[in-house]
């Protein structure tokens, strides 16, 4: 493909330069904030050379090109659309423009996603180490008392023990506070003076008398919601203080007062309330998981891809991290994984039957992408476009979801689905069987349902 020609054709199809408010790109897609999406010719854009699909989501109109292609197109597209490439201020302006286009709930979900996505590598590393330790212990590869096992065990639990510090740093950046103060607040919540509840069951924390208020000296290692609420409060305090404290003493007084006020409020009010809220959410989901069993997997596996269309799935990382930290396993991620690979199965079915060259060109790489956990090309480039394959994928996701819940498959992390999730699956065998059920179910259902094939242009 000629990347320059594609960029030149794309601008007028988006309604012209004046209709493009801002733009950026990720690994696979152009992300554009459009003034009036009614001026966008979506059908014509999808016929452009190299385009694997186009859709509107999270306040942005997104055009899928794929890895390695999107950045080359963007290089030519940016000057034509009046976009500054690689400029931090332009990037911030793009995020702000996208936020204005989103409804409050979608904005909330995106905020949680922005906080947790940078933390995922740390949790994945810990999850893979936990899986390795499990294999070592099960098959007696290494003596559990050996130095190797003990040190690896330390490495695997570190991310969860300091999780509030990681979240504190990331959340403060997202909320507009000082990220290092956010990390300090997270550190307060996991201070050695507080009893570490992570991995302890019988130990009881002492209670301090703080001017008539009882402060339970229990730490927040492995928790998510308490630190999120606390850092949000911290960011508000910091911004308010900067407005009233003179510049000449701002560096001294603002951090000092922010940490002191937030620390007291965290241990006295927000922390206990956040812990209760987190326990309530995980308790309710655990009750549903234990009571409804495979039916819950059937429903969640079938509906997950529809939830993805709304953007609400971005908020699930926080819930998954809370569950993982509390019970040592994530039972939601295998269900989401079934829905994702089912999209690949449905796309593969379209590839085998379609006579349309453009669809066939898009379908195979989109299916591979879905098997690796990235579903946008499959959902928006193929399945949703033809409607019935999307229903077929929902059927496959429901069947796979029911199986992984029935066999109680869990993950040691968050964020990874598809083939990469084998690295953090606690039961790789049953996860693999569920994987095959989801793909085969979606493939067969899509062929049975059929779809209207478009003629070649």
First to last CA, the chain: 17
Structure tokens at 232: 């949000």
Alpha carbons 21 and 81: distance in angstroms, whole number: 9
Residue 421 DSSP class: G
Residue in 26, 148, 208, 217 annotated catalytic: 26
Q: Name the one residue in this structure whose structure tokens are 């508000």.
A: 236
Please choose, from the candidates 310, 334, 302, the residue with its C-alpha nearest in 3D space to the C-alpha of residue 320.
334
Bridging pattern class, strands 53-57 and 29-34: unpaired
Q: Which residues of 254-278 are buried (b: 16+ CB within 10 A; e: fewer)?
A: bbeebbeebbebbbeebbbebbeeb
Query: What pairs with residue 64 in β-bridges?
Result: 29, 53
Ranges assigned E (strand) in 168-271 = 207-210, 213-216
Structure tokens at 117: 């996505």
Active site residue 306: no
SS (H, E, C) 38-70: HHCCHHHHHCCCCCCEEEEECCEEEEECCCCCH
Structure tokens at 112: 């949680």
Alpha carbons 226 and 309: distance in angstroms, whole number: 29
User: Who contacts 1 (Cβ-Cβ below 8 Å, separation ≥6)?
Assistant: 49, 50, 69
Residue 454 DSSP class: P
Contact between 62 and 70 under an 8 Å Cβ cutoff? The reply is no
Residue 433: other Cβ atoms inside 10 A:
16
Please choose, from the candidates 404, 362, 415, the residue with its C-alpha nearest in 3D space to the C-alpha of residue 385.
362
Alpha carbons 248 and 268: distance in angstroms, whole number: 32
Q: Which residues are catalytic?
A: 26
């Amino acid at each position: 493909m000629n990347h320059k020609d594609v960029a030149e054709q794309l601008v007028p199809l988006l309604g012209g330069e004046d209709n493009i408010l801002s733009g950026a790109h990720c690994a696979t897609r152009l992300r554009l904030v459009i003034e009036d999406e009614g001026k966008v010719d979506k059908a014509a854009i999808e016929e452009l050379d190299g385009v694997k699909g186009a859709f509107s989501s999270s306040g942005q109109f997104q055009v899928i090109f794929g890895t390695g292609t999107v950045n080359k197109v963007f290089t030519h597209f940016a000057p034509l659309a009046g976009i500054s490439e690689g400029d931090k201020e332009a990037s911030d302006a793009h995020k702000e423009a996208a936020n204005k286009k989103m409804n409050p709930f979608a904005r909330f979900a995106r905020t949680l996603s922005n906080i947790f996505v940078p933390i995922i590598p740390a949790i994945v590393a810990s999850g893979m180490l936990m899986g390795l330790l499990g294999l070592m212990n099960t098959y007696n590869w290494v003596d559990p008392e050996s130095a190797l096992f003990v040190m690896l065990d330390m490495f695997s639990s570190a991310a969860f023990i300091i999780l509030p510090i990681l979240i504190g740093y990331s959340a403060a950046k997202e909320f507009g506070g000082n990220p290092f103060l956010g990390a300090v607040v997270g550190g307060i919540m996991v201070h050695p003076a507080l009893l570490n509840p992570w991995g302890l069951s019988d130990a009881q924390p002492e209670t301090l008398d703080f001017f008539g208020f009882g402060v339970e000296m229990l730490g927040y290692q492995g928790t998510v919601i308490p630190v999120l609420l606390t850092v949000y409060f911290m960011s508000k305090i910091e911004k308010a203080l900067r407005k009233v404290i003179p510049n000449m003493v701002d560096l001294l007084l603002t951090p000092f007062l922010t940490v002191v006020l937030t620390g007291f409020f965290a241990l006295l009010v927000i922390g206990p309330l956040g812990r209760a809220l987190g326990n309530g959410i995980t308790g309710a989901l655990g009750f549903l998981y234990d009571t409804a069993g495979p039916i819950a997997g059937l429903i969640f596996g079938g509906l997950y891809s529809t939830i993805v269309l709304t953007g609400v799935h971005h908020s699930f990382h926080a819930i998954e991290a809370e569950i993982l930290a509390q019970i040592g396993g994530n039972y939601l991620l295998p269900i989401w994984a079934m829905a994702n690979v089912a999209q690949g199965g449905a796309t593969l079915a379209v590839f085998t039957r379609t006579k349309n060259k453009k669809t066939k060109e898009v379908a195979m790489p989109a299916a591979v992408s879905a098997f690796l956990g990235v579903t946008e090309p499959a959902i928006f480039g193929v399945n949703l476009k033809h409607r019935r394959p999307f229903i077929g994928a929902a059927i496959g996701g429901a069947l796979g979801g029911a199986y992984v819940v029935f066999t109680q498959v869990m993950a040691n992390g968050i964020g990874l689905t598809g083939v990469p999730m084998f690295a953090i699956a606690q039961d790789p065998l049953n996860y693999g069987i569920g994987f095959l059920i989801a793909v085969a179910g979606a493939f067969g259902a899509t062929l049975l349902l059929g779809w209207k094939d478009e003629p070649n242009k």
